[in-house]
Amino acid sequence: MLKIGFLLPPGFQIMGLAAASAFELANTTAREHLYGIGFYSAHGGAVVNSFGASVETQPLARRRLDTLLVCGLIAPAPTDSLTLNRLRAASRLARRTASVCTGTFLLGEAGLIDGRHVTTHWLYARALQQQFPAARVDADRIFINDGPVWTSAGMSTGIDLALGLIEADYGSELAAAVAKKLVVYHRRAGGQSQHSALLELGARSDRIQRVLEYARNHLNSALTVQELAGVANLSPRQFSRAFTTETGQSPAKAIEHLRLEAARLMIEQSRHTIEEIATETGFIDTERMRRAFLRAYGQPPQALRRIARMA
């Protein structure tokens, strides 16, 4: 049996405990006690969460856990020294340490993310990078596994992280079955964006928004800078400058994100062949689409289709 210990700092956000349901259902699905779950804090006793309810905990001192999972707060705040000391000690004894949402800040305060590739809620990703410059923060990932350290984005993505842990422990078949019982997508790959592509781009002006809508409706065409500049009624140079200023991305990168999002939806929800999807979304050929998927999601299109069909 693998023991999962949830570290609950004072004021923890209660949604962080949703991940416990994934481990519970892994047990019932396998009809075997694969996981044990415990709630811990620096002192033990009742810990009040952000909603004002309390959860009874055990003291974390000298606990040997398979996985230490740190719950986050609604907004990052400094952690007391005793909690950090207990966290460091427990992490050294655990096989792996994970965090939900802003729990990554606690890992950072404990010195556990230096040199690591990590994520947190997009709203606080910049602050995380500024506070812990030795970490490599990715603001647009659902969850990240870097060696023994796992981190997730918003509170609900703790479930995605838990499914990832289950898959790492017992395989994709069990993780898919658990996801199905939870009535969640199985499973949002760690590389999946925290936002839709259009929401992420967040154009401010009507002309750039018009360009993005045009691009989304014409993905099977070349969508050159000259073509998009014509939609915006700007010269190519003016358009490229305005587009990058408003969206933070070059036109080429933004179009690739739109193509990826459309292709992924078709792969997961349609019966089109990979070749047809590549053509329909403007990747021209399957090899170019495969390379784009590997860069963005860490998996080729065929693997994502298999995962979707297992759900």
Tell me the per-residue pLDDT of 265-275, one tens digit each, with 9 for 90 and over.
Answer: 888 778 889 99
Residue 62 burial by Cβ neighbours in a 10 Å radius (0-12, 13-18, 19+)? exposed
Q: What number of other Cβ atoms are within 10 A of residue 27's Cβ?
A: 16
So what's the pLDDT on residue 163?
A: 92
**φ, ψ at 117 (rounded to 5°):** -90, 115
> Which DSSP symbol is given to 95?
S
Residues found in the chain:
311
Pick from 182, 205, 223: which residue ends a domain?
182
Domain assignment of residue 228, yes or no: yes
Instruction: Let me know if residue 177 belongs to a domain.
Output: yes
Mean pLDDT estimate for the chain: 88
For the question of residue 71 being annotated catalytic, the response is no
Q: Which residue is associated with the tokens 């399957």?
A: 286
Q: Which residue, among 70, 66, 74, has the nearest Cα to 49 in the 3D structure?
A: 74
- Look at residue 223 and tell me whether its pLDDT is greater than 70: yes
pLDDT digits (tens, 9 = 90+) for 269-293: 788 899 999 999 999 899 999 999 9
Q: At what angle do helices 206-217 and 236-247 cross, to 10 degrees?
A: 100
Collapsing DSSP to helix, strand or coil, 178 comes out as: helix
> Can you tell me which residue has the tokens 């006690």?
33
- What's residue 107's pLDDT? 98
| β-bridge partners, 12 | 73
Stretch 29-34: mean pLDDT:
96
How do residues 113-153 score in pLDDT, each as one tens digit? 999 999 998 888 889 999 999 999 987 678 899 999 999 98
Handedness of CA 198, 202, 206, 211 (dihedral sign): negative
Instruction: Kindly state whether residues 172 and 289 are assigned to the same domain.
Output: no
Which residue in this structure is represented by tokens 């779950």? 37
Q: Identify whether 130 is part of a domain.
A: yes
Residues whose CB falls within 8 Å of the CB of residue 141, separated by 6 or more in sequence, listed in order: 119, 153, 190, 191, 192, 193, 194
pLDDT at 226: 95
| Domain of residue 225, CATH code | 1.10.10.60
Question: How is residue 186 annotated by DSSP?
Answer: T
191 domain residue, yes or no: no
Domain boundary among 127, 153, 182: 182
106 in any annotated domain: yes
d(CA 142, CA 158): 9
Same domain? 281 vs 248: yes
How far is residue 51's CA from residue 54's CA, in Å, rounded to a whole number? 9
Which pTM value belongs to this model?
Answer: 0.65
Q: What pLDDT, on a 0 to 100 scale, did the predictor assign at position 186?
A: 46
Per-residue pLDDT at 1? 94
Residues 157 and 236 both lie in one domain: no
Assess if residue 66 is contained within a domain: yes
* DSSP calls for 150-174: EEESSTTHHHHHHHHHHHHHH-HHH
Question: What are the DSSP calls for 47-74, one per residue?
Answer: EE-TTS-EEEEEE-TT---SEEEE--BS
Task: Give the pLDDT band of residue 64 (cuts 50, 70, 90).
Answer: confident
Cβ neighbour number for residue 202 with a 10 Å cutoff: 13
- DSSP 8-state symbol, 241: H
Number of structural domains the chain divides into: 2
Are residue 105 and residue 215 in the same domain, yes or no?
A: no
Mean pLDDT across the stretch 84-94?
Answer: 95
Q: State whether 113 and 202 are in the same domain.
A: no
> Quick one: 31 and 153 in the same domain?
yes
Catalytic residue among 94, 101, 242, 296: 101
The whole-number pLDDT of residue 13 equals 92
What's the angle, vertex CA 274, arms to CA 284 and CA 295, rounded to 5? 70
How confident is residue 236, by pLDDT bands cut at 50, 70 and 90?
very high
DSSP secondary structure code for residue 12 in this structure: B
Amino acid identity, residue 52?
A: G
Taking residues 20-39, what's their average pLDDT?
A: 96
pLDDT in tens, 165-218: 999 999 988 988 898 888 775 444 444 444 455 555 666 788 888 898 888 889
Q: Work out the pLDDT band at 296, boundaries 50, 70, 90.
A: confident
Q: Tell me, yes or no, whether 281 and 133 share the same domain.
A: no
CATH number of the structural domain spanning residue 19: 3.40.50.880
Cα separation, 151 vs 165, whole angstroms: 11
Range of the domain at 108: 2-182
Q: Do both 92 and 167 map to the same domain?
A: yes
Q: Are residues 145 and 276 in the same domain?
A: no
Same domain? For 42 and 178 the reply is yes
Ramachandran region, residue 214 (left: φ > 0; alpha: ψ -120 to 50; beta: rest): alpha
Single out the residue in 142, 159, 182 at which a domain terminates. Answer: 182
Judge if 171 and 284 occupy the same domain.
no
pLDDT at position 310 = 64
Quote the pLDDT of residue 200.
Answer: 55
Instruction: Please report whether residue 266 resides in a domain.
Output: yes
Is residue 112 domain-shared with residue 230, that is, in the same domain? no
Whether 41 contacts 9, CB under 8 Å = yes
Helix axes 286-297, 301-310, angle to 10 degrees: 70
